[in-house]
Amino acid sequence: MSEACPITVAKGDGIGPEIMDASLHILKEAGARLDIEEIQIGEQVYSSGHTSGIEPSAWDSLRRTKVFYKAPITTPQGGGFKSLNVTIRKTLGLYANIRPCASYHPFVETKHPVMDVVIVRENEEDTYAGIEHQQTREVTQCLKLISRPGCEKICRFGFEYAKANGRSKVSCFTKDNIMKLTDGLFHKVFDEVAADYPDIENEHWIVDIGAAKLADTPEKFDVIIMPNLYGDILSDVAAQITGSVGLAGSANIGDGFAMFEAIHGSAPRRAGQNLANPTGLLHGGIQMLVYLGQQDIAERIHNAWLKTIEDGIHTYDIYTDSHSKEKVGTKEFAEAVVARLGQEPETLTVKRYPREAAGLGEIKPSPRTNEKKELVGVDVFIDDPTCTPEELGKKLEEVSSDGIKIKMITNRGVKVWPGGFPETFCTDHWRCRFISDAAEKDSPVTHKQIIGLLNRCEEAGLDFIKTEHLCMFDGERGYSLGQGE
Ligand code: NAD
Q: Where are the domains of the chain?
A: 1-94+247-358, 111-242, 373-477
Would you give the end-to-end CA distance of the chain in angstroms?
A: 67
**pLDDT for residue 2:** 66
What CATH number should be reported for the domain whose range is 111-242? 3.40.718.10
**Nearest Cα residue to atom 22 of ligand 1:** 246
What single-letter DSSP state applies at residue 245? Answer: G
**Topology of domain 373-477, per CATH?**
Alpha-Beta Plaits (3.30.70)
Angle 266-272-276 from CA coordinates, rounded to 5°? 55
**pLDDT for residue 48:** 87
For residue 386, how far is its CA from the centre of ligand 1 (angstroms)?
A: 46
Question: What is the helix (H) or strand (E) element at residue 472, kind and residue range?
Answer: strand 463-473
Beta strand 96-102 pairing with 249-253: antiparallel
Q: Is the pLDDT of residue 306 over 60?
A: yes
How many angstroms from the chain centroid is the CA of residue 69? Answer: 19
Strand partners, 476: 473
Contact by Cβ (8 Å): 146, 185: yes
Helix axes 330-339, 16-29, angle to 10 degrees: 10
Contact by Cβ (8 Å): 32, 282: no
User: How confident is the model over 215-244, as a mean pLDDT?
Assistant: 94
- Secondary structure in 3-state letters for 298-330: HHHHHHHHHHHHHCCEECCCCCCCCCCCEECCH
Contact by Cβ (8 Å): 128, 228: yes
User: Is any atom of ligand 1 closer than 6 Å to the C-beta of 261?
Assistant: yes
**Strands annotated E in 296-440:** 313-314, 326-327, 373-383, 404-411, 414-417, 429-436
Provide the sign of the torsion angle of the four alpha carbons 69, 126, 42, 40, taken in this order.
positive
User: Is any atom of ligand 1 closer than 6 Å to the C-beta of 281?
Assistant: no
User: Is any atom of ligand 1 closer than 6 Å to the C-beta of 211?
Assistant: no
**pLDDT for residue 82:** 80
Q: Which of 69, 447, 413 is nearest to 262 (CA)?
A: 69
Q: How many CB atoms neighbour CB 449 within 10 A? A: 19
Contact by Cβ (8 Å): 101, 119: yes
Contact by Cβ (8 Å): 26, 301: yes
User: Is any atom of ligand 1 closer than 6 Å to the C-beta of 415?
Assistant: no
Confidence (pTM)? 0.92
Contact by Cβ (8 Å): 58, 40: yes
- Phi then psi for residue 177, to 5 deg, are -75, -20
For residue 247, how far is its CA from the centre of ligand 1 (angstroms)?
A: 12
The pLDDT tens digits for 374-402 are 999 999 999 999 999 999 999 999 999 99
User: Is any atom of ligand 1 closer than 6 Å to the C-beta of 54?
Assistant: no
| Residues 308, 313: Cα–Cα separation, whole Å | 6
Calculate the CA dihedral of residues 252, 255, 257, 263 and round it to 10 degrees.
0
Beta strand 326-327 pairing with 313-314: parallel
Residue from 77, 266, 333 to probe ligand 1 pocket by mutation (most atoms less than 8 Å from CB): 266
**pLDDT for residue 47:** 87
Looking at ligand 1, which atom is closest to the CA of residue 73? 40
Q: How confident is the model at residue 129 (pLDDT cuts 50, 70, 90)?
A: confident
Calculate the CA dihedral of residues 232, 235, 241, 247 and round it to 10 degrees.
-110
Q: How many CB atoms neighbour CB 347 within 10 A? A: 11
Q: How many CB atoms neighbour CB 25 within 10 A? A: 17
Q: How confident is the model at residue 1 (pLDDT cuts 50, 70, 90)?
A: low
Q: How confident is the model at residue 19 (pLDDT cuts 50, 70, 90)?
A: very high
The tally of CA atoms less than 13 A away on the side-chain side of residue 70 is 28
The pLDDT tens digits for 70-113 are 999 998 887 778 888 888 988 899 999 999 999 999 999 888 99
User: How confident is the model over 226-247, as a mean pLDDT?
Assistant: 91
**pLDDT for residue 55:** 87
**pLDDT for residue 470:** 97
How many angstroms from the chain centroid is the CA of residue 459? Answer: 44
How many angstroms from the chain centroid is the CA of residue 453? Answer: 39
**pLDDT for residue 484:** 47
| Residues 191, 329: Cα–Cα separation, whole Å | 47
What CATH number should be reported for the domain whose range is 1-94+247-358? 3.40.718.10
SS3 category, 214: helix
The pLDDT tens digits for 324-372 are 999 999 999 999 999 999 999 999 999 999 888 777 777 888 888 899 9
SS3 category, 5: strand
SS3 category, 98: strand
**pLDDT for residue 483:** 60
Mean pLDDT of the chain: 94
Q: Is the pLDDT of residue 472 over 60?
A: yes
**pLDDT for residue 482:** 65
Percent of the chain with pLDDT over 70: 98
| Residues 83, 105: Cα–Cα separation, whole Å | 36
Q: Is the pLDDT of residue 476 over 80?
A: yes
Q: How confident is the model at residue 3 (pLDDT cuts 50, 70, 90)?
A: confident
Residue from 88, 97, 245, 247 to probe ligand 1 pocket by mutation (most atoms less than 8 Å from CB): 245
Q: How confident is the model at residue 7 (pLDDT cuts 50, 70, 90)?
A: very high
User: Is any atom of ligand 1 closer than 6 Å to the C-beta of 266?
Assistant: yes
**pLDDT for residue 408:** 96
Q: Is the pLDDT of residue 254 over 70?
A: yes
Q: Say whether 373-477 and 1-94+247-358 share the same fold.
A: no
